[in-house]
Amino acid sequence: MGEDSNHIFPKEKVSYLIQHFADHKISSALNRIDQSFHIHRSILLVIVWIMVFGEVCGQNGPPNADHLWLNKYSNPIFAADLILAAVLPDRQSVSTSQFTPQPGSRIRIDEARFADIDRHALRAPQSVRHSVERLAAYLTEPCRNDLEKVRSIYRWITENISYDVEGYRSGNYGDLSPESVLSSGSAVCSGYTGLFGMLADASGIEVIEISGWAKGIGYEAGDPILGPTNHAWNAVKIGDGWYLIDSTWGAGSSDGIRFVRQFEEHYFLTPPEQFIFDHLPEDPSWQLLEYPLSESQFVHLPHVKSHFFRNGLEIVSHFQSVVETDHQISIALQTSLDLSLSARLIRNGQSLDQSLTFTQRTENSQYQINALFPAPSDYILRIFVRPIEENGPYWQAIDYKIKVGRGMPGPIGFPEIMGAFAKYGVTLHAPRSGYLKIGEVEPFILYVPKARKVAVIMGDSWFHLKENNGFFEGNVKVQEGEIRVCAEFLREGQYECLLQYTAF
């Protein structure tokens, strides 16, 4: 499939191609050849359909019931797609496998059993680490089935093999044979997958190594896929189906300078519809999707991290990684979980003022992420998440690239969010600007479902908003100084602050 742009369509290939690739729907084929050869699409359709029809009729007369594939694929556009997808030099055109792997069904995890398997794997004595066979025998000793064997291998590798950052940076990967990786305890991705494969094979597990492209170190939302493949991972067969595993990413993360070990559950038997967001196999059949994505579609997916899926987030409003706007944007996500979200704008590698982003949960349980842009440029909008009951760090969840054409002049920014805002599920409707002009009358509208009272406080002046089914509204004339919006929740007379504005 590596022919150059001077490739000719040999007529004798048509029947073979149709029969071999008939089940692959590759709708971008005509566009690719049009771009490569500068031939008009309508001319291509005529040429290809004549080829197809001629191959069928040939000297045998009109097509008949014996040509079963023609009955199914007689649409000329679809037939053209099939042929061109096969003969064009596109690394994402067709599967190179000798068979079509079938994805496995969802597996119900016995967490208590997995905890036992994990403990066993993490207690592997030094004496078994000098031989792949001995290590495999130890890891699978208590396992009752193939699922538990795969789990034990995954858990040991992610805990004991470190990512070779220096090798990655220098390009000198050293010996990546499974025996060497086992001895050194360090490798890049192909070393992880090779060791995983040998341990799985020694344990009687059917396993393959998959090469492809990943949105890993240095990748930013919207970046094109360039050059040869840059990552490797595994697929294992459990029962009648195949499952995807990335033990490299399961071991931790790297920024290209250092490796941070952090066990990642997400990359163990990752559902294909989630795995495709950051892994594109060279062979599309190993996407394990009913309708495989093209390279272009892969690039245009938003750049999501494992915590996006771990927290049950779903995209509501913006499904592509690159978004164009004049000066502001509002992105909607949803989940059934109680979460706290935050966002940050990044330009030229530098984080901008926090007041340029504003996140909140709306009345319909969606999360709204708003951003303002001070000047025309390209920005990264990075969204973070954590469970609302936790006090730990926020985790990166999803990135968008925002291409801003104009920008917003003057003092811009959102009001500062105080701790009680997310805690009590408050939604701000107005005013959205964090800068309020002195002397102007501003309508305040907030949804504060658990509040008894809500007040706008300016110095010693308190202006209570009127309540109506959880909504608090009122018109307030802006005075000099600090402006706070506070609410009374549990105890009478005890107010907690929600928002803070600046008067100018």
Q: What are phi and psi of 78, to 5 degrees?
A: -65, -40
Among 56-70, 100-114, 175-189, 394-408, the minimum mean pLDDT is found in 56-70
Confidence of residue 474 (pLDDT cuts 50, 70, 90): very high
What's the CA gap between 188 and 193, in Å, rounded? 9
- Is the pLDDT assigned to residue 19 strictly greater than 50? no
Rounded mean pLDDT, 31-37:
37
Burial class (CB in 10 A: 0-12, 13-18, 19+), 395: middle
The per-residue pLDDT for range 282-299, each reduced to its tens digit, is: 999 999 999 999 999 999
Place of tokens 């007689």: 74
Pick the closest to residue 81 from 294, 379, 351 (CA basis): 294
SS (H, E, C) 61-73: CCCCCCCHHHHHC
Name the percent of the chain lying above pLDDT 70: 81
Q: What average pLDDT score do residues 338-351 get?
A: 94
Query: Considering only CA atoms, which of 369, 379, 381, 358 is closest in space to residue 335?
Result: 369
Instruction: Judge whether residue 11 has pLDDT over 50.
Output: no
